[in-house]
Amino acid sequence: MKAAVFREVNVAMEVEEVDVSKPAPREVLVRTVAAGVCHSDMHFFNGTYPGQLPIILGHESAGIVEQVGSDVRYVQPGDHVITCLSAFCGHCEYCLTGHLSLCQEPELRRDKGEEPRLSMNNDQIHQFANLSSFAEYMLVHEHAIVKIREDMPLDRAALIGCGVTTGVGAVIHTAAVEPGSSVVVIGCGGVGLSCINGADIVGAGKIIAVDMLDSKLELARKFGATDVINAKDTDPVAEVLEMTGGGAHYTFEAIGLKVSAEQAFRMLRRGGTATIIGMIPPGEMVEVHGAEFLMEKKLQGSMMGSNRFRVDMPRFVDFYLQGKLHLDDMISSRIKLEDVNDALAALETGEVARSVIMFED
């Protein structure tokens, strides 16, 4: 199969021929139809987060089941599926207590002594996030996919595989935003827009979008933002405190920067909750004023929107088909696999929400 292989940090990936193994008893071979190019891919491509090389990036994807292992009963060839990087084992403490997105059990991957899922000339090509969707096929554990209805367009479905689930999930699961409350979202990329969309769906009263690009702030209005702040022109903390009469009930940081994470905490009213969704670089320390904890302000993280993806993703599909999720507006461009390097570069400028690689016309 053809795949974009990542061999060296900040060096353009080449599309190469890679060998893919046959499905083990609990594995599924998925023919990739669409794959979003996400900031998380960029974090590994530019070395912000370390990874094992060579590797095939990509983790926000949808496709069609091609083959199934002998023990798989959940899907069959021809089923339409969305992938999820937070695969679950189903029996660890996290899974049994309803925190599936925190599962880290190694059984979801092949053992070192086994034939690798991906290889080239008998040398292993590592798999990113148990998926590696910048490739024509994905060989995954059956607990890394969810079956969806076939009338859902797969390019939009791919977005649900990461950005939408992360953003909407952070609103409804991690923070449990209450109807009528005030919400601030810092960063209007794919995840931030999904946060805004989620806040609108749950009935937040005031939804304030913060970014430094007017084009993205205008897009945020389409997703449900009632107010916008261009942080390039003003102090966003002071603006939020003024607009909300003392601070927001909930804030979400969807960029992954120390400064914006600290701003999210400072924007809160007494009893408010700041949720950090962005991938802050390793070694970065987020500083807050300790005395503010006496005001019962809360600072928390979120992993993939604290999802239960086999329940959540089909519901998000329904939301889209009912006109509640605005996925059409999130796709900035549809590209070919050969264009993946340009799509990653576009993320650096902040001008796009999502480019989606299409493997089929």
Catalytic residue among 39, 43, 80, 326: 43
Report d(CA 266, CA 268) in Å as an integer.
6
Please say if 99 is a catalytic residue.
Answer: no
Give the CB-side neighbour count of residue 246, counting CA atoms within 13 A. 7
Please say if 162 is a catalytic residue.
Answer: yes
Catalytic residue among 39, 59, 141, 173: 59
Q: Which residues contact 168 (CB under 8 A, 6 or more apart)?
A: 194, 195, 197, 198, 201, 305, 316, 325
Please say if 40 is a catalytic residue.
Answer: yes
CA dihedral 171, 176, 181, 185 (to 10 degrees): -20
Catalytic residue among 84, 95, 103, 162: 162
Catalytic residue among 39, 40, 182, 195: 40
Report d(CA 253, CA 272) in Å as an integer.
14
The string of DSSP letters for 163-222 reads: IIHHHHHIIIIIS-PPTT-EEEEE--SHHHHHHHHHHHHTT-SEEEEEES-HHHHHHHHH
Report d(CA 116, CA 197) in Å as an integer.
39
Angle formed at CA 89 by CA 85 and CA 91, multiple of 5 degrees: 150
- Count other C-beta atoms under 10 Å from residue 288's C-beta: 15
Two tokens at 182?
């005030």
Report d(CA 252, CA 255) in Å as an integer.
9
Straight-line distance from the first to the last Cα atom of the chain, in angstroms, rounded to the nearest whole number: 17
Catalytic residue among 38, 95, 103, 195: 38
Catalytic residues: 38, 40, 43, 59, 162
